[in-house]
Amino acid sequence: MTFLSNLTIISKLTVVSDCCRRVHKMNVAKPKEEPGRQSRQQRGYARTRSKLLTAARSVFTEKGLSASVDEIAERADVARGSFYYHFKTKERLINLMVEDVLSELTNRMNKEGADKKGLEAVLDGIIQAHIGFFSNRWQDFVLYYQGRADLTLEESYDGLKKPFLKYARSIEELIEAGTSEPIQDARLRRIASAIAGFMAGYYSFAIIASTDQDIDKEFISLRGAFVTSLARFAKEALP
Q: Which residues contact DNA (rule: CB under 7 A)?
A: 21-25, 28, 33, 39-42, 44-45, 47-49, 68-71, 78-82, 84-86, 88-90
Q: How far is the CB of 47 from DNA (least distance, A)?
A: 6
Give the 3-state secondary structure of residue 195. helix
Work out which of 137, 204, 216, 220 binds its own copies, going by CB under 8 A. 204
* Chain CA centroid to CA 121, Å: 23
Residue 218 interacts with which of its own copies, DNA, none, CB < 5 to 8 Å by class: its own copies
Q: Does 133 bind its own copies (CB under 8 A)?
A: no
Residue 80, contacted partner among DNA, its own copies, none, CB below 5-8 A by kind:
DNA
- Look up residue 33 and give its DSSP letter: -
CB nearer DNA, residue 69 or residue 200: 69
Helix (H, G, I), strand (E, B) or coil at 105: helix
Letter string b/e over residues 29-63, b meaning 16 or more CB atoms within 10 A of that residue's CB = eeeeeeeeeeeeeeeebeebbebbbebbbbbbbee
Candidates 83, 133, 134, 141; binder of its own copies (CB under 8 A) is: 141
Subset of 14-33 contacting its own copies (CB under 8 A): none
Helix ranges (H only) for 18-89 are 40-63, 69-76, 80-86
